C-alpha cells in the first residue's frame, strides 16, 4: 500500500466514497423508518381513515372521520383498549399581558392523547389533563416564548383576544420523528359558548375529525374495518363514507394518496426503495472498481506469485494473503468513510432537510451491520482476484507470458460495462428527476403566483377585512387585494352538491372555497364563460364553477344552471346557488393530484388575504402593509409570505430528494471515473512496447490516442444501451406517481450517453496522451 501510493489512494478513495454514501443513505432510511416508533404501543396503534366513494373526487382516501366515531368504537368494540380524537385548529393568536404571538400548530384533543401517545408531562397536571373546558397543555418551547423562565401552570392566556385558556401542563416538544407536530393541546370539552362545537362533536353526517385507536392485543385490519363500518352504518352515516384503519407504522411512508390529514414531513416508501437501490448500486460500483483495479494489477504481481509458489507457498496461503489485503483496504476505507459521515452529516441534513442521527452508527445493531457488510464487501471484492492470482502457473508467469492472457482482460471489460451501465442509468434518472421538478415549478397553474404576498387572518381580524383592503389600496405600489377562504396550495374543504337535473340520490362531492369580488383579478384568473363576482349584483346565492365541474356534469351551457348544497340534516335540506360564471381550471391544491370539480361561493370576509404588489421597492411596500395591519388590527401579530415561496415549500420533499439523487449520481460517476483512470493507466503500461513499436513504424500521436481510447468508448456504448433500457423502465414507473408529469424523450438518453463518453475520454485522455508522447526509445531499450 505504501509502495504504490497512487494505486492505493484510488482503491481506498473509491471504496471510502462508496461506503460513505451508503452510510449516509442508511442513516436517512433509518430516519424514515423510525417515525412514531418511540411510542410504547407503536404496534398496537392505528388511525381511522375514510374512503370517500362519492362521485366527483379522484382522491378517495382522506384522513378524517365522523366526530362521534372514536367514542363509539371504544364503547362497542371490545378489542379496542382506547381511542382519541384530534381536531387540527391550525394557528392560534395568543396573548399574555402585553405580549402577542402566533402558535403554529394547535390541536383540540382528549386526555386519552397522553395515554395512547408518549408525550411526557414536564410540569403540571399528570392525569385527566384535558378534562376541563378551556384547559390547555403547552410545549416547553412555547412556554419559554410566552413566559420566559416563569412557571406557567395556572396562568391564563387569551385566544384571539377573547377566549380565555388556562394552562394545566407543560409537555415535552414532539420528537422530530413524529407525524404529529404541535405546540399546544386544547381540551375538546366544549365551553359555555360553544353550542355549535357541541353539535359538531355529535354529528354523523360529516367527516372532520382525526381518530386514533389502540388495540389490546394485535391489529387485525379486516376484522376491525368490518366492525367500525358496522358502527357507522348503525348510526345512519352517509353510506359513501367507508371507514378503514391504517397502522401507525404505515402513516409516514404509506400515506401519499391521503388528503385532509395531519402528517408532518410525510414521505413515500418509493423514496426509500429508490435510495436503497442507489446505495446498493454505489456499493456495487465501489466493489467493482476495487476488483477491476486488483485484476488489472495482477500482471505486475504475476512474477511475485510465481516466486512464492516456487519456494513452497500453498494456494490456500496465497488466497488468504490476497483476501487479507482486500479486507485491510476495505477496513481502512470504512474508517475514512465513518470520519467523512461524522464530519458531513450535519451539513447534509441541512441541504436535504433531514435530521439523520449519526450516533445510530454506534448502536450494537449498526456496528454489527457495518462490520458484517465490511467483511462481505472485502471478501467479495477480493475473492475473484485472490483465486486468479493464486492460480498462476509458475513456469508461465516467470517466462512473462501472463500478460498475453485474455481472461483478465474480458473480466475487466465486463466490469467497466457494469460500472458505466450503473453510472449512465443514474445520469438519465437524475436528468428526468430534474426535468420533472422543473415542470412542477414552471407549469401553468391557472393563476399568477409572482409578486403576491399572502396574509393569514383569524378571529376578529377577519371582520375588519374590508377596512384593511381599503387602507392597503391607498398605496400605489399595491396593485390589487383579494381574499379567499384558503390560501392557494392548501387543501380545500369538500361539500355534497345536488346539481340541477340530477336526483338527490346521486352522491356528488366537490371541493368548495369562498372568495371576494377581487380575488380573481388579484390572482390573474380567467373567467371563460359568464362573469365573476361583483358588487354590482347580489351574489349571496351565486356561485362560480371551474371547467372541470362543467365537464364532470356534462354541461355545455352552465351559466344560469343551479346547484344545491346541503344545509341541513335531511337530504332535501338544500340551499340553491345559481351559476354565474365558469373559471378556467387552476390547481387549487398541488399538482400531485388531479384537478377536481370546484364550487366557489361569494364571501366578503375570508381567512386568507392575497396582495399583488409592485416589485419596485418590495421592502418599503411590505413595511407599509405591516404598518397598515397594526393600525387596523392593534394587538395582533402580523405575518406574511410570498406565494411563490409557499408554493416551493409544498414540494420541499421532492426538491430535497432531487438534490440528493443528483449528488449521489455525481458521486457514482466520480467512483467510476477513478476506476477508469487507474485502469487506463494500467492498459497504457501493458501496451507500452506495442505503442513504441507503432511509433517507430510511423504511427502519429492521434493514432495512438485513438487506439487507446476506442476500446473504452466501445465498452461505454454497450453500457449506454443497457443503461437506457433499465433507466426508461424505472423512471417511467417513478413518473406514474405524479398525476401530471413530463414525457421521457430520447434527447435525455442521448445527452447522458454523450456526457458519459466525454467523461470517459477526459478520464483516460491523460494516460493516452502521456503514452502517445513517450519517446519509443524509453519503452524499447530493454529489448
Give every CB contact of residue 130 below 8 A, 6+ residues apart in sequence. 109, 110, 111, 113, 136, 137, 168, 185, 186, 187, 188, 189
- Where does the pLDDT of residue 26 fall: very low under 50, low under 70, confident under 90, or very high at 90 and above? very high
- The CB-based long-range contact list for 393-398 (8 Å cut-off, 24+ gap) reads 393/306, 394/306, 394/307, 394/309, 394/310, 395/306, 396/306, 397/302, 397/303, 397/305, 397/306, 398/303, 398/306, 398/307, 398/310
Residues 48 and 17 in one domain: no
The chain-wide mean pLDDT, for the chain, equals 85
- The residues, ordered by sequence, that sit 6+ positions from 594 with a Cβ below 8 Å of its Cβ are 58, 59, 739, 740
What is the reported pLDDT for 404? 45
Percent of the chain past pLDDT 90, that is, above it, reads: 32
Q: Does residue 401 have a pLDDT over 60?
A: no
Residue 324 within any structural domain of the chain: yes
Residues 401 and 471 in one domain: no
- Indicate if the pLDDT at residue 73 is higher than 90: yes
What is the C-alpha to C-alpha distance for residues 758 and 760, in angstroms, rounded to an integer? 5
Adjacent-strand bridge partners of 102: 93
Q: What is the pLDDT of residue 694?
A: 76
pLDDT band at 514 (very low <50, low <70, confident <90, very high): very high
At residue 580, the pLDDT reads 93
Distance separating alpha carbons of residues 515 and 519, to the nearest angstrom: 6
**Per-residue pLDDT for 396 more than 50?**
yes
pLDDT at position 68 over 80 = yes
Q: What's the domain range around 71?
A: 44-250
Nearest Cα to 224, choosing from 329, 69, 368? Answer: 69
pLDDT digits (tens, 9 = 90+) for 557-608: 999 999 988 766 565 678 889 999 999 988 877 777 788 899 999 998 888 8
Least confident of 353-357, 381-385, 430-434: 381-385
469, 555: one domain: yes
Q: Within 10 Å of residue 363's Cβ, how many Cβ atoms? A: 12
Contact (CB, 8 A) for 597 and 546 = yes
When pLDDT is averaged across residues 464-481 and rounded to a whole number, the result is 90
Are both 87 and 213 inside the same structural domain? yes
Q: In this structure, is residue 114 part of a structural domain?
A: yes
Band of residue 389 on the pLDDT scale cut at 50, 70, 90: low
Percent of the chain residues topping a pLDDT of 70: 90
Among 632, 653, 679, the domain boundary falls at 632
Residues 356-375 have pLDDT tens digits of 999 999 889 889 988 888 88
Range of weakest confidence among 151-160, 537-546, 590-599, 718-727: 590-599
At which residue does the C-alpha cell 388590527 appear?
A: 633
118 grid coordinates: 408518549
455 falls within a domain: no
pLDDT at 27: 93
Nearest partner of 634 among 460, 437, 482, 775, judged by Cα: 460
Domain count of the fold of the chain: 3
Look at strands 493-499 and 135-139 and give their pairing: unpaired
Q: Does residue 607 belong to any structural domain of this protein?
A: yes
Residues 232 and 351 in one domain: no
Owner of C-alpha cell 368490518: 226
Where is the domain boundary, 383, 405, 427? 405
Quote the pLDDT of residue 244: 95
Backbone φ and ψ for 116, nearest 5 degrees, come out as: -90, -45
Same domain, 136 and 241: yes
Phi, psi of 215 (to 5 degrees): -90, 165
Q: Does 532 share its domain with 583?
A: yes
pLDDT band for 504, please (50, 70, 90 cuts): low
C-alpha cell at 631: 393600525
What pLDDT score was predicted for residue 638?
84
Domain boundary among 632, 667, 690: 632
Question: Each residue of 177-202: pLDDT tens digit?
Answer: 999 999 999 999 998 888 888 988 99
pTM (2 decimals)? 0.83
Same domain (yes/no): 235, 297: no
- On the question of pLDDT at 32 being above 90, the answer is yes
- Distance from the Cα of residue 324 to its chain's centroid: 42
Please state, in angstroms and rounded to a whole number, the distance separating the CA atoms of residues 412 and 292. Answer: 6
pLDDT tens-place string over residues 653-699: 888 888 888 888 888 888 877 777 767 766 666 666 777 777 777 77
Higher pLDDT, 488 or 246: 246
* 290 falls within a domain: yes
Give pLDDT, residue 192: 83
Task: Report if residue 690 sits inside a domain.
Answer: no
pLDDT tens per residue, range 760-776? 777 777 666 666 666 66
How does pLDDT run across 247-301, given as a tens digit for each residue? 999 999 998 888 888 888 888 888 898 889 888 888 888 888 777 777 666 656 6
Residues 322 and 209 in one domain: no
* 487 and 591 belong to one structural domain: yes
Residue 721 lies in a domain: no
Question: What mean pLDDT do residues 231-247 have?
Answer: 91
Give domain status of residue 571, yes or no. yes
Q: Supply 140's cell numbers.
A: 416547553
Residue 83 shares a structural domain with residue 186: yes
Beta-bridged to residue 608, according to DSSP, are 456, 484
Mean pLDDT along residues 207-222: 92
* C-beta contacts of 695-701 below 8 A and 24+ residues apart: 695/776, 696/776, 696/780, 701/769, 701/772, 701/773
How many residues make up the chain in this entry?
783
Residue 236 sits in the same domain as residue 345 = no
Amino acid at each position: 500500500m505504501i509502495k504504490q501510493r497512487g494505486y492505493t489512494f484510488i482503491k481506498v478513495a473509491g471504496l471510502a466514497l462508496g461506503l460513505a454514501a451508503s452510510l449516509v443513505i442508511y442513516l436517512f432510511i433509518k430516519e424514515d423508518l423510525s417515525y412514531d416508533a418511540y411510542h410504547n404501543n407503536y404496534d398496537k396503534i392505528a388511525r381511522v381513515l375514510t374512503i370517500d366513494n362519492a362521485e366527483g373526487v379522484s382522491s378517495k382516501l382522506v384522513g378524517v372521520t365522523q366526530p362521534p366515531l372514536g367514542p363509539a368504537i371504544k364503547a362497542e368494540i371490545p378489542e379496542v383498549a382506547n381511542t382519541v380524537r384530534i381536531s387540527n385548529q391550525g394557528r392560534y393568536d395568543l396573548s399574555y399581558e402585553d405580549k402577542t404571538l402566533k402558535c403554529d400548530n394547535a390541536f383540540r384533543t382528549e386526555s386519552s392523547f397522553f395515554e395512547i401517545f408518549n408525550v411526557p408531562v414536564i410540569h403540571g397536571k399528570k392525569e385527566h389533563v384535558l378534562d376541563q373546558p378551556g384547559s390547555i397543555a403547552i410545549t416547553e418551547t412555547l412556554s419559554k416564548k410566552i413566559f420566559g423562565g416563569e412557571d406557567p401552570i395556572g396562568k391564563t392566556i387569551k385566544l384571539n383576544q377573547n377566549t380565555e385558556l388556562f394552562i394545566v401542563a407543560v409537555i415535552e416538544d414532539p420528537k422530530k420523528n413524529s407525524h404529529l407536530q404541535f405546540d399546544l393541546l386544547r381540551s375538546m370539552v366544549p365551553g359555555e359558548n360553544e353550542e355549535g362545537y357541541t353539535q359538531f362533536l355529535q354529528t354523523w353526517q360529516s367527516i372532520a375529525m382525526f381518530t386514533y385507536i389502540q388495540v389490546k392485543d394485535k391489529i387485525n385490519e379486516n376484522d376491525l374495518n368490518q366492525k367500525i363500518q358496522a358502527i357507522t352504518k348503525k348510526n345512519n352515516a352517509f353510506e359513501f363514507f367507508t371507514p378503514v384503519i391504517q397502522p401507525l407504522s404505515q402513516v409516514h411512508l404509506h400515506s401519499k394518496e391521503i388528503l385532509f390529514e395531519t402528517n408532518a414531513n410525510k414521505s413515500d416508501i418509493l423514496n426509500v426503495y429508490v435510495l436503497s437501490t442507489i446505495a446498493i448500486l454505489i456499493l456495487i460500483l465501489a466493489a467493482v472498481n476495487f476488483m477491476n483495479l486488483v485484476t488489472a494489477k495482477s500482471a505486475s504481481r504475476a512474477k511475485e506469485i510465481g516466486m512464492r509458489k516456487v519456494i513452497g507457498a500453498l494456494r490456500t496461503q496465497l488466497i488468504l494473503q490476497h483476501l487479507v489485503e482486500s479486507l485491510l483496504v476495505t477496513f481502512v476505507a470504512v474508517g475514512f468513510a465513518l470520519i467523512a459521515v461524522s464530519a458531513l452529516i450535519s451539513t447534509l441534513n441541512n441541504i436535504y432537510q433531514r435530521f439523520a442521527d449519526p450516533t445510530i452508527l454506534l448502536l450494537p445493531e449498526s456496528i454489527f451491520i457495518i462490520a458484517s457488510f465490511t467483511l462481505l464487501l472485502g471478501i467479495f471484492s477480493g475473492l475473484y482476484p485472490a483465486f486468479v492470482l493464486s492460480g498462476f502457473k509458475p513456469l508461465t508467469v516467470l517466462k512473462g507470458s501472463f500478460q498475453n492472457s485474455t481472461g483478465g482482460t474480458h473480466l475487466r471489460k465486463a466490469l467497466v460495462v457494469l460500472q458505466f451501465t450503473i453510472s449512465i442509468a443514474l445520469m438519465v434518472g437524475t436528468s428526468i428527476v430534474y426535468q420533472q421538478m422543473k415542470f412542477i415549478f414552471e407549469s401553468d397553474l391557472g393563476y399568477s403566483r409572482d409578486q403576491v404576498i399572502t396574509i393569514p387572518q383569524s378571529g376578529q381580524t377577519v371582520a375588519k377585512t374590508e377596512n384593511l383592503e381599503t387602507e392597503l389600496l391607498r398605496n400605489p405600489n399595491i396593485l390589487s387585494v383579494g381574499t379567499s377562504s384558503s390560501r392557494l396550495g392548501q387543501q380545500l374543504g369538500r361539500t355534497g352538491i345536488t346539481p340541477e337535473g340530477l336526483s338527490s340520490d346521486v352522491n356528488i362531492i366537490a371541493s368548495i372555497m369562498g372568495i371576494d369580488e377581487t380575488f380573481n383579478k388579484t390572482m390573474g384568473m380567467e373567467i371563460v364563460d359568464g362573469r365573476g363576482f361583483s358588487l354590482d349584483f347580489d351574489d349571496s346565492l351565486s356561485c362560480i364553477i371551474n371547467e372541470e365541474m362543467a365537464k364532470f356534469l356534462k354541461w355545455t351551457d352552465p351559466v344560469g344552471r343551479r346547484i344545491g348544497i346541503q344545509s341541513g340534516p335531511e337530504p332535501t335540506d338544500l340551499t340553491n346557488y345559481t351559476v354565474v360564471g365558469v373559471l378556467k381550471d387552476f390547481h387549487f391544491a398541488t399538482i400531485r393530484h388531479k384537478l377536481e370539480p370546484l364550487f366557489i361561493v361569494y364571501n366578503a370576509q375570508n381567512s386568507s388575504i392575497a396582495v399583488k404588489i409592485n416589485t419596485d421597492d418590495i421592502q418599503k411596500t411590505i413595511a407599509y402593509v405591516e404598518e397598515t395591519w397594526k393600525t387596523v388590527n392593534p394587538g395582533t401579530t402580523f405575518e406574511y409570505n410570498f406565494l411563490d415561496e409557499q408554493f416551493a415549500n409544498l414540494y420541499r420533499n421532492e426538491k430535497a430528494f432531487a438534490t440528493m439523487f443528483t449528488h449521489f449520481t455525481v458521486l457514482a460517476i466520480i467512483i467510476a471515473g477513478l476506476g477508469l483512470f487507474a485502469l487506463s493507466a494500467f492498459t497504457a503500461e501493458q501496451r507500452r512496447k506495442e505503442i513504441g513499436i507503432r511509433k517507430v513504424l510511423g504511427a502519429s500521436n492521434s493514432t495512438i490516442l485513438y487506439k487507446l481510447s476506442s476500446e473504452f468508448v466501445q465498452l461505454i456504448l454497450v453500457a449506454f444501451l443497457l443503461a437506457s433500457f433499465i433507466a426508461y423502465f424505472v423512471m417511467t414507473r417513478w413518473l406514474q406517481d405524479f398525476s401530471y408529469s413530463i414525457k421521457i424523450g430520447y434527447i435525455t438518453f442521448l445527452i447522458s450517453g454523450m456526457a458519459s463518453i466525454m467523461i470517459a475520454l477526459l478520464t483516460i485522455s491523460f494516460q493516452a496522451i502521456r503514452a502517445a508522447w513517450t519517446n519509443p526509445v524509453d519503452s524499447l531499450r530493454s529489448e
